[in-house]
Amino acid sequence: MPTSNHAYKNAKRLRRKMSLPEVLLWQILRKQPGCIKFRRQHPIGRYVLDFYVSELKLAIEIDGIAHDMGDRPARDKERGQWLEAQGIGIVRILAQDVLADPNAVADSIVRFCTER
């Protein structure tokens, strides 16, 4: 699954422009809780994942309200199917849940990862 040059450039740009829920979660996940190495804005194929655990082939996506608008649901479905075809699991988390309690969300992510 080669990653396009565009995806690398886009990932670099997205790391500088992370949403508030992504920033709040990254502040916790970057410390490698549970000895799990998380990557942020990780390019795979033509896509950029919000967070990725390579050892588990697990994508963690933070979904804000924009994911319910326009063609986003169809694009998210296509993206999800492609990722699953590559053997990558996906966990979707609502941005509002991260904003409400980033520590609880991070704890549940770590627990999910350690149980896999």
Residue 16's CATH number:
3.40.960.10
Q: What percent of the chain has pLDDT over 70?
A: 83
How many structural domains compose the chain? Answer: 1
Q: Contact, 3 vs 45, CB < 8 A?
A: yes
Q: What pLDDT does 12 receive?
A: 63
> What is the three-class DSSP state of 48?
strand
Q: What pLDDT does 70 receive?
A: 62
Q: Which among 114, 115, 110 is positioned nearest to 30, based on CA atoms?
A: 110
Is residue 31 over pLDDT 70?
A: yes
Q: Contact, 37 vs 113, CB < 8 A?
A: no
Q: What pLDDT does 109 receive?
A: 97
Is residue 5 over pLDDT 80?
A: no
Model confidence, pTM = 0.84
Place of tokens 């770590």: 110
Range of the domain at 82: 5-115
What confidence tens digit (pLDDT) does each residue in 62-109 have?
987 665 556 677 888 899 999 999 999 999 999 999 999 999 999 999
Q: Is the dihedral of CA 72, 76, 24, 17 positive or negative?
A: negative
CA distance 42 to 76: 16
